[in-house]
Structure 1
Amino acid sequence: MKSQIAALFIAAVAALPVIADTLTVKADAPKRYVVKKGDTLWDISSLYLRSPWKWPELWQNNPQIDNPHLIYPGDILALEVDENGNPVLRIDKGVRKLSPKARIITAKGEAIPTLPLSILEPYLIFDQALSNDELEDIPIVLGSNKNFKMSIIGHLLYVKGDLLQGGAYGIYRKGQPYQDGFTTLAYETKLVGTGRVVKAGDIQDGLPSTLRVDDVKQEIKAGDFVMPIAQGQDHKAAFQMSKPSQEIDGKIIASGNRHTEFGAMSVVVLNLGSSQKLVEGSVLNILRQSPTVIENEDGPRYLEDSSSLDKLIGDIGSLFGEDNSEDSTVWHMPSEKVGELMLFKVYDNISYAMVIQTSHPIRVGDSVTN
């Protein structure tokens, strides 16, 4: 079957850098580009647009498009001008004459993903963020057919739950809490192994299900819980990127690598989700709070360089909204944009996102907004 193809619209060329004062094109944007295996839609958009996430706004006006999310290795993108004089990036139909006797036929393969799939894949397929209530209802490992405290490949696990005969399951362990201040929003759940059910159980009759361990990342322990590998997991490669129109105010509460500082292509966790009307593909700005300054008779200085008394004044002032004393004035500086991220897995009040652009290292605690 002939694969569907798609085109990226471009807002402008170097000679016409702005359309509707919202989109710009880079001066070095190529006139032609051949899509390669390993490319992402973000990569290609970034070749042309200064705000790559804005390409869906233009795609909907392109009559060429059958499915705007599918671009394939081998597609030839050509920067042209439409009948109204507007620049547009079109897709070569796949046949290009090189001489009277030679031509190239573009070979199609798998559509390229929006972002690097190798980084997203573990989160899309396996890793979960679950609340305490959700964890209480999930089947758990009771033990194995070996009198070992930890189980490995080939062991049979006995699971407290009515599992599906022949079903493939992931075995998980409760990890660190994802916290917003003192509130726990969810718990990280990390994959420790996989297995397949060899005998369905019946919990009402006191019969556990039997699961044979196929693969392990860590030794499996009693109390680990079991979920179908397909449960709640949408293995998407393409996302329709857009900035939300509603006001968004949240922050980064954790990172996938558990570091406190990280760069582009890192996975982070946000204290935002579908409750804020966010969806997979939502693009948000990352903001960094500039350092607080305390001004007194010795002049202005950063809070960390101030005296203990001035620091106490700054802390108390922040709590009660009173930033000035008789001798000191506290200046709370504005926040500045340091990057962008895109949500790729959204729960009610928590989301996984990938940092897609940075001007400074990103940190846990940085704010996110539209």
Structure 2
Amino acid sequence: MKSQIAALIMAAAAVSPAIADTLTVKSDAPKRYVVKKGDTLWDISSLYLRSPWKWRQLWQKNPQIDNPHLIYPGDILSLGLDENGNPILIIDKGVRKLSPHVRIIAEKGTAIPTLPLSVLEPYLSYDQALDKDDLAEFPIVLGSDKNFKMSITGHLLYVKGNLLQGGNYGIYRQGDAYKDGSRTLAYETVLVGTARALKSGNIEDGIPSTVKVEAVKREIKAGDFLMPLPQGQDLKATFKMSKPSQPVEGAIIASSNKHSEFGPLSVVVLNVGSEQQLVEGSVLDILRQSPTVVERNGTPKYLEDSSSLDKLIGDIGSWFGEENSEDSTVWHMPSEKVGELMLFKVYDNISYAMVMKTTQPIQVGDSVTN
């Protein structure tokens, strides 16, 4: 099997070396693969390509595919060559004879998502990154029908705001600030519960809206704010994976699990967004800065292991752009790639992304680039 795939790749390279340079199929890629429920587009892309975001190139001349991002459980993918000798994936359709039985491909249902939808759903449905001005505009909880400091499921809440009767709302609390250095980019919103509006208020006449609490994640307090929940809308499950063409320099500024280190399928927050021409589906590399070394009198040491004097020399040199002296040299080592992530929710200057691949645990502060 592997020798057949290797021959396939060599043939493609011989006919079109330019394409082979940009689209290299793995030597151990399966010649035939049956899509299963639970698969993601990233998983399948990774079976065939070391650079999963180049998936569209593998499908680009496939006349069978109306939308290369829609693949369904039961589809049978076959690796072949197009008329120019370039690697291509095709879908075997219809009835496949598998002796001694005949297998009929099931009618298509829900397309497989690009990323695990169970992980993304809370962020697509509920979580938001909002600035201070946005937060001030939302209706707030004034109190409950019972003289309790905190409310639970079944309680009625009175809300300062003209809500839509019958509408469904998420109840949120302001969370941590997302900071880029000392600059606050946005604030985390923490979902504390959901509610349905029973009566629409009229704030101009001093009449609050009334909502009934339908679900609680944590106790609801006065001052929590409400935002409408999307109704009757399908969650976005497919994304056009792509590497940005323009330079991108950013960093991971927060993680959803609040841990110091995290791995694949973790959701992180970045300090870049649409202002950097990023979109949902953008794929970025995660880089880790290698430790600085101070060489003093011919003896190299990591900066954290150096003497206070060496650290001072390094700091002063950084300030003035002169990091070397007659007996001390500061070596700034390069950054190394430690993983990849994909953006799935993009704001002006902040984004949510999922870590897809790592070679070591990812940390807040790691940089991202294309």
Which range moved further: 274-283 or 51-60? 51-60
Q: Which residue of 2 aligns with 1:222?
A: 222
- Give the corresponding residue for 2:301: 301
Q: Distance in 2 between matches of 1:351 and 1:320?
A: 34
Once residues 99 and 349 of structure 1 are traced to their aligned partners in structure 2, the CA distance between those partners, rounded to angstroms, is: 57
Indicate how the Cα distance of structure 1 residues 117 and 242 shifts in structure 2: closer, same or farther if over 3 A, else same: same
Instruction: Report the TM-score, using the length of structure 1 for normalisation.
Output: 0.93
Quick check: 1:192–1:220 contact (8 Å CA) kept in 2? yes
Report the counterpart of residue 16 of structure 2 in structure 1: none
How many residues align structurally? Answer: 358
Aligned to 1:38: 38
Deviation track 1:172-222 (CA, whole Å, cap 9, x = no partner) reads 010000000000000000110001000001111111110100000000000
Shift of 1:95: 1.5
Is residue 270 of structure 2 the alignment partner of residue 278 of structure 1? no
1:14 aligns with 2:9: no
**4+ aligned runs moved over 6 Å, structure 1:** none
Distance 2:287 2:99 in 1: 54
What secondary structure is seen at the aligned counterpart in 2 of 1:134? helix
**2-side partners of 1:359 and 1:297: how far apart?**
35
Report the structure, 1 or 2, having the larger helix content: 2
TM-score, normalization by structure 2: 0.93
CA distance in 1: counterparts of 2:305 and 2:99, whole angstroms: 72
- How far the C-alpha of 1:67 sits from its partner, in A, is 1.4
Matched, 1:324 2:324: yes
2:188 maps to amino acid: E
CA distance in 2, matches of 1:46, 1:101: 31
Partner of 2:247: 247
Q: 2: distance between equivalents of 1:45 and 1:100?
A: 32
Contact 1:165 1:199 in 2 (8 A): yes
Q: Give the corresponding residue for 2:113.
A: 113
The corresponding residue for 1:8 is none
Structure 1's 234 and 205: CA in aligned 2 closer, same or farther, altered over 3 A?
farther
Q: Distance in 1 between the 2:230 and 2:349 partners? A: 22
In structure 2, the residue matched to 1:211 is 211
Partner deviation per Cα, 1:307-352 (whole Å, 9 max, x = no partner): 0111111122223322113331111111111111100000110000
Deviation at 1:24, TM superposition (A): 1.5
CA distance in structure 2 between the partners assigned to 1:313 and 1:325 by the alignment = 9
Letter in 1 for 2:83: E
3-state DSSP of counterpart to 1:227: strand
Q: Distance in 1 between matches of 2:369 and 2:101?
A: 56
The amino acid of 1:220's aligned partner reads I
Structure 1, unmatched stretches of 5+, are 1-11
2:162 aligned partner, one-letter code: D
- Letter of the 1:30 partner, please give it: P
Alpha-carbon distance between aligned partners in 2 of 1:52 and 1:75, rounded to the nearest angstrom: 19
Residue correspondence of structure 1 range 1-370 to structure 2 within 5 A: 13-15=5-7, 16=9, 19-98=19-98, 102-230=102-230, 235-297=235-297, 299-370=299-370
Paired with 2:164 and 2:253, the residues of 1 have a C-alpha distance of 36
Letter in 2 for 1:64: Q
Q: Given that residues 138 and 225 in structure 1 are in contact (C-alpha distance below 8 angstroms), is that contact kept between their aligned partners in structure 2?
A: yes
Is the Cα contact below 8 Å between 1:342 and 1:356 reproduced in 2?
yes
SS in 2 for 1:301: strand
Deviates more, 1:118-127 or 1:61-70: 61-70
**CA RMSD across the alignment:** 1.7
Which residue identity does 1:311 align to in structure 2? K
d(CA) in 2 for partners of 1:174 and 1:142? 16
Contact 1:75 1:94 in 2 (8 A): no
Instruction: Identify which range, 45-54 or 211-220, moves more after superposition.
Output: 45-54
> What is the SS of the residue equivalent to 1:272?
coil
Classify the secondary structure of the residue corresponding to 1:24.
coil
- CA 338–347 in structure 1, closer or farther in 2 if over 3 Å, else same: same
Note closer, same or farther for the CA distance 1:326–1:69 as it changes in structure 2 (3 Å cut): same
* Per-residue deviation, 1:103: 4.0
- CA displacement, residues 274-294 of structure 1 (integer Å, 9 cap, x when unaligned): 111100000001111111000
**Offset at 1:101?**
7.7
Q: 2: distance between equivalents of 1:31 and 1:154?
A: 56
Secondary structure of 1:14's aligned partner: helix
Give the Å deviation of 1:88: 1.5
Whole-angstrom CA distance in 2 between matches of 1:114 and 1:317: 47
Q: Aligned-pair distance for 1:223?
A: 0.4
- Opposite residue 63 of structure 2, the aligned amino acid is P
Q: 1:89 deviation in Å? A: 1.2
Q: Residues 65 and 309 of structure 1: is their aligned pair in 2 closer, same or farther, counting only changes over 3 Å?
A: same
Q: Please report how far the alpha carbon of residue 100 of structure 1 lies from its aligned counterpart in structure 2 after TM superposition.
A: 8.9
Contact 1:41 1:114 in 2 (8 A): yes
Mark the runs of 5 or more structure 2 residues left unpaired by the alignment. 14-18
Q: Is the deviation greater in 104-113 or in 338-347? A: 104-113
- How far does the alpha carbon of each residue in 1:53-80 deviate from its partner, in whole angstroms, 9 at most, with x for none? 1112343332222112211111111112
Contact 2:273–2:349 under 8 Å retained in 1: yes
| Code of the aligned partner of 1:112 | I
